[in-house]
Every structure is written in structure tokens, then in C-alpha cells.
Amino acid sequence: MIIFATLRMSIRALRRNTLRTLLTMLGIIIGVGAVIAMVSIGNGAKAQVEAQIASLGQNVILVMSGNFSRGGFAMGFGSMPTLTKEDYESIRREVSGVAASSPEVRTAAQIAVGSQNINSSILGVGDEYPDVRSWPIASGAIFTEQDVRGANKVAVIGKTTATTLFGEGDPVGQIIRIKNAPFVVTGLLSSKGMSMMGQDQDDIVLVPYTSAMKRLSGVTTFRSFQIKSVSSEAVTEVQQQITDLLRQRHKIEPGKDDDFLVRTQQEITQTATEASRVMTLLLGSIASVSLLVGGIGIMNIMLVSVTERTREIGIRLAVGARSRDILLQFLIEAIALSLVGGILGIFLGMGGSTLVSSKMGWATLISMDSIVISFLFSGAIGIFFGFYPARKAAQLDPIDALRYE
């Protein structure tokens, strides 16, 4: 028997009971929709993480100060003051393959201009910081090396800080007061937008690290160094040199743990994408459970349908249908059910993920892969869950089937 004729027959059978067909498909619709929406949310998060890490700058190596632990609790890297100015200077001096570098100290303080004030985070950095982070200056310039050496009261401010303090006017050349000390604004950073944690990255003030340590926070050690290598090939080499140098400077005996942490951008990317991959997988597998339930729904209705249509099967067998014709008929019906459900589910998933991204502001990314896979998967569900009822129909005895009331 021609597949096409069977398909037409199956679609007619399904249209005969539209409500039941729709309810049966609902499981698959929701299942596929959930998988697509969940995977798109996971992929969106992953893409965002990747973009975030790329925004750290190219070929960046991060050196964090040691892991301070007290009573068995690790406080996280950066909590122990192990990175000194001398460490930084020796890295600058002795490590080859460094394109640009900057140390970083962090503090927060009230910043005021006239009656306006804002509580921005203040980063004490070197003059190469915008270069390391690939973060261009929009207007004016970064402070100079002399400013750093002299611990001058100069600052470069972010977009949000500038807008809050100066409105739309150009902040370059203006004076801002940080902890009551007047700082001259030398430049305005270009806008970077929200971070993935939802922080405004433009609410920031960069000052020379010397000024920050001496005039603002009083700390003498750094939270981290950010070092940009000359090329992506040189990253590992530079990382090794830094590790060796710092172990030597910190007099760490062989076999003992580092009191600092050197991470390349690739390593950070890997960790983060692995985390979001696991999240995508988790969301996807929870959603697939509903696909499974949908498949069982199809099997259930197909079994009912086979019983209801026993007489029809008997008639078909009597006029010469072979077992495989009957099998094919019911199998195609189940596959049609699940595929149409799958297509509707794809639309539902796309709609759902668009809704999520517009209403909740989450990044979503619908991949062609997830659409193709869920379409094929719903077809496979049709075959898997349709096979048993179809086989049951095909194995009916023609006499019993004809006699069935």
C-alpha cells in the first residue's frame, strides 16, 4: 500500500476527533515547547557569559592574591594580601611577552560634584588598564604614567557616573571630590553596559592605583594583577613565567600550594561555559520528562483507538490488508500525532522564549539545532510509543475483529 494513501487516511482519522487529537498532542506540544524554551534560556545564558568573558579583553591573564582561610573556611581568592607592589614591578621587569598590564585595588566611596553625589566603585589601576581590558576611552585620555608615579589626583570616569554627576555635559577637565579630595577628570570611558550579574559596569571611577592606596583606602597590597600577553600563543608561557616568579618571590617551597592564583581567560571561559552547559543540560532534561509523558499519552490514546476501531481493522483485514498495512496505518497515525504536536511545540517554545526574554529580561537563544532535534525526537516518540498499539492492531485475528461489537 502506498504510504501517501495511508497518510491521508491517518490524517482523516485524526481530524475525525479534533478535540481528542489536540488533547493527545498537548503532551508533546508542551514537552517540545518546554525543551526549546529551556534550551534557549540555557544557550542565551551561555552566550552572555562568553560575551562577558570576551569583554575582559583579549589574551588576559588574571593574577589573584591568595586564598585566605580561617578555621577551615576559605574566604576566596583575593582575600589574603599577598600581592605587593614589588611583585607587580618585578613581573613588569622580568616576565617577557607582556603587552600591557595593570594592578587593581578596589574601594568604594562617595563622589560628589556640587550637590550631586554618587556611590561608585573606585578602581585603582595603572595607566595601561584600558588597553588590558580592551576598554576604549570615549573622550579625553587615561591618566599618564607620571600621574601614577606621583599619585596624582586624577580620575577617569564611567558613563553612568558621568551622567549622574554632570548630566549630558562633558566631564573632562571637571573636578570631582572623592572622600573630599578633589580629583581632575581626564577622561570618560566608553559604555560597557550591564554585567551578567546585573551590575552596571559603567558606574565606575578609575584612579591611579598609587592614589587609591595612599589617599583613598590605605591598603598596601593588590587584589589582582591583569596582564595582557602579546599574543594568544604566548599566554601559557607568560602564565608559567608569572607563576615561577611569584613562587620564587614568595619563597614557596616545591610541593607547597601557591598563595596566589594565575588564571588565563581561556580557563575562566571554560569554567563558565561548563557551568552554563550543565545548566542547559539540566533544564533540557527536566523538560524532556514532559516529552516522555506526552509520548505515554499518545500510546494511551492509540491503544484506545485500536480497541475502538477493532471492527474497522477486521473489515480491512477481510478485504485483504496485510498485518504490515495495519501496522503502518496506526504507526503513521501516531507519528503524525507526535510530529504535528512537535511542530506546534516548536512554535510554543519559540513564543515562550521570546516572552521570557522580553518580560524577564533574560537572554535567550533559539538554536536551529534544538528545533531540528526536538522535531526528530518527537517523530521518534511517535514511532516508539506508537509501535506497541500498532502491533496490537496488526496482530488482531480477522474473525475476532469482525465479530467485535
Partner 1 sequence: MKAEANGHPVIQLDEMSKTYHTGEVDVHAVRGVSLTVKPGEFLAIMGASGSGKSTMMNIIGCLDRPTGGRYLLDGVDVNDLNRDELALLRNQKLGFVFQGFNLLSRTSALENVELPMLYNRDGMSSREQRERGLKALEMVGLSDRADHHPNQLSGGQQQRVAIARSLVNEPKLLLADEPTGNLDSHTSIEIMGIFQKLNRQGMTVVMVTHELDIARYTMRNVVMRDGRVVSDVPVANRLDAADELEKLRAEQQAIQLAP
**What is the contact surface with partner 1 in residues (CB under 8 A)?**
1-2, 5, 9, 16, 311-312, 314-325, 398-399, 402
Report the alpha-carbon distance of residue 7 to residue 258 in Å, rounded.
68
Rounded CA separation 65/346 (Å): 48
- Toward partner 1, which CB reaches closer, 8 or 149? 8
Q: Quick one: 132 or 306, whose CB is closer to partner 1? A: 306
Q: How far is the CB of 49 from partner 1 (least distance, A)?
A: 56
Closest CB 322 distance from partner 1, rounded Å: 5
CB nearer partner 1, residue 256 or residue 324:
324
Q: Which is nearer to partner 1, 277 or 391 (CB)?
A: 391
Helix (H) or strand (E) run with residue 137 in it: strand 137-140
User: What is the closest distance, in whole angstroms, from the C-beta atom of residue 384 to partner 1 in the complex?
Assistant: 25
**How many whole angstroms separate alpha carbon 151 and alpha carbon 54?**
31
Distance CA 85, CA 113 (A): 32
C-alpha closest to that of 121 among 91, 157, 97: 157
Distance of CA 94 to the CA centre of its chain: 37
The grid coordinates of residue 222 equal 593588590
Closer CB to partner 1, residue 171 or residue 314? 314
CA–CA separation, 119 and 52 (whole Å): 24
Cβ 23 to partner 1 shortest distance, Å: 20
Burial tier of 268 (Cβ tally within 10 Å: 0-12, 13-18, 19+): middle
C-beta of 1: minimal distance to partner 1 in Å? 6
Query: Which one, 218 or 320, has the nearer CB to partner 1?
Result: 320
**In degrees, to the nearest 5, what angle opens at C-alpha 213 toward C-alphas 207 and 217?**
95
Query: Least Å distance between CB 303 and partner 1?
Result: 20
Query: In terms of Cα–Cα distance, which of 214, 115, 111, 197 is closest to 158?
Result: 111
